[in-house]
Structure 1
Amino acid sequence: MSRLRALCLALPEAEEKVSHGEPTWFVRKVFVMYANQHHDDRVGFWCAAPPGAQEAMVAADPAKYFRPPYVGHRGWLGVYLDVPVDWEEIAEIVTDAYRAIAPKRLIALLD
């Protein structure tokens, strides 16, 4: 989780708070939520995702990605961390989650 935390907190004005008993990262609103066996025996995170990303990623690799409960119907992506992880790919997913939620002025700081 420390690597996920570092990726999230490296983004402009990102903050960590505990929500629903789990570390959660906000930029005004939630963009990533850690899930340590939150609704199953798996470790991963749930995050905002660009339109269509959830469907494409889950279809391409259901061993790594899933539709999370509660927010999956809004297009959020679930990512398992208890499988071999490509941290460069995770960094891209976290950044995309941030871009989906952050105000335009903060997104501009990434470009």
Structure 2
Amino acid sequence: MVDLADIRAATEGLPRSYEVLVRDRIKFRVGQIVYLAVAPDELSMGIGFPREERDAMIAAQPDKFFRPIPSDERYQWIRVHLDAIDVDELRELVLDAWRMCVPKKVAAAYLASTDQDAPG
């Protein structure tokens, strides 16, 4: 199971990313765009995810992924059970969500500087 320390480690060093506390929820943003939000009980998180792929991902892996709350359905968002993913999958999800929020040049420069392949 991943935890808040793992989430912070996965977001650390991502350009333009920062952590905020909003109504007892830890959120990670790029500018004003939230790309990751940890549930208050720290057992799940919401994360930026392509809306058109959400239903297929939930159907394929219902033990890991679940729908956002109804008011968040309109956003590119999916929720994840933290006890169902490992650190490597967490890093991939975080990086993909962050890439949805930053300019392509920023993402490309970061990936080049860290010697990572572009996921997704």
**How many angstroms apart in 1 are the aligned matches of 2:100 and 2:48?**
6
One-letter code of the match for 1:88? D
Counterpart among 9, 13, 21 of residue 18 in structure 1: 21
1:12-54 deviation line (CA, Å, top 9, x unaligned): 12100112311110111111011133xxxx7111011124332
Tell me, what secondary structure is at the counterpart of 2:79? strand
TM-score, normalised to structure 2, is 0.77
Matches within 5 A, 1:1-111: 1-28=4-31, 29-37=33-41, 43-69=43-69, 70-81=71-82, 83-109=83-109, 110-111=111-112
Identical aligned residues as a percent: 30
Structure 1 unpaired stretches of 5+: none
**How many angstroms apart in 2 are the aligned matches of 1:51 and 1:79?**
14
Bigger mean CA offset, 13-22 vs 98-107: 98-107
One-letter code of the match for 1:9? E
For the structure 1 residues 10 and 72, does the alpha-carbon distance in structure 2 shift closer, same or farther, using more than 3 Å as the test? Answer: farther
One-letter code of the match for 1:32? L
Tell me, what secondary structure is at the counterpart of 2:107? helix
Structure index of larger Rg: 2
Tell me, what secondary structure is at the counterpart of 2:50? coil
Aligned length, in residue pairs: 106
Give the conservation status (yes or no) of the 8 Å contact 1:17–1:24: yes
1:53-106 deviation line (CA, Å, top 9, x unaligned): 32122111111101111323323010111x242211111111110111112332
**How many angstroms apart in 2 are the aligned matches of 1:107 and 1:34?**
23
